[in-house]
Structure 1
Amino acid sequence: MLVVLSPRMPYALQEWPRMRALAEQAGFQIVAFRDPGVPSSEWEAGLEAAGLPELRAAPVLDQQVAADCRLLNHAPSALVGRCGRWHAWPVLGVMPDGPWLAVLNERREAVACS
């Protein structure tokens, strides 16, 4: 799962540890990226406020890739993939546990491995 995070969405960083833990428990491997529209100083301030120093090393997702994958303007934004293919629809926003796991699993099952 590829995830784009941004401190510009009020609950994105605050809720990310819970959502990440649920996804990992469900067997997802996660690669987190920083929103390409967020300057380093804003990213650092957001991480500090959220208590997420482990995300300091998150790379910036290429602006064009983010746009092509519809991962801009809402966070968290997640793409679910497997077997080298990505589901066409990103998962957008903060969700309660049940719906988050349901949509992740639906996306994973929809991406066929050949």
Structure 2
Amino acid sequence: MQQNGNLARHIGGAGWNQIVRRLRDKCKWHRRTLVIADKWFPSSQRCSECGHVDGKKSLDVRDWTCDECGTCHDRDINAAKNLSRVGQTRIQAPGDLGKPDAFEVVGSGR
């Protein structure tokens, strides 16, 4: 998002580090688990049905169809499904998904 000239100034000023820090503090306080995905995780490129990574798409592509299973995806809903599934799986089985540094688990909320 930082590469988009229209959005970069607003996103850069949003104070992401402060937001993440506050989320960490709140999760520790309330004994919840915070899972932070790596910024390079292909959430909008991966099919939420079969797991196939379809590759990079420009921001104007809002809907796409998986080449492997033929499922039609809305880009944002697909990304939300992928991030939700990975977060839940990461909490239940911390060592089972991908690279160990792809996600950061903060707190032990269970």
TM-score normalised by structure 2 residue count: 0.29
Structure showing the higher helix proportion among its residues: 1
Structure with bigger gyration radius: 2
TM-score normalised by structure 1 residue count: 0.28
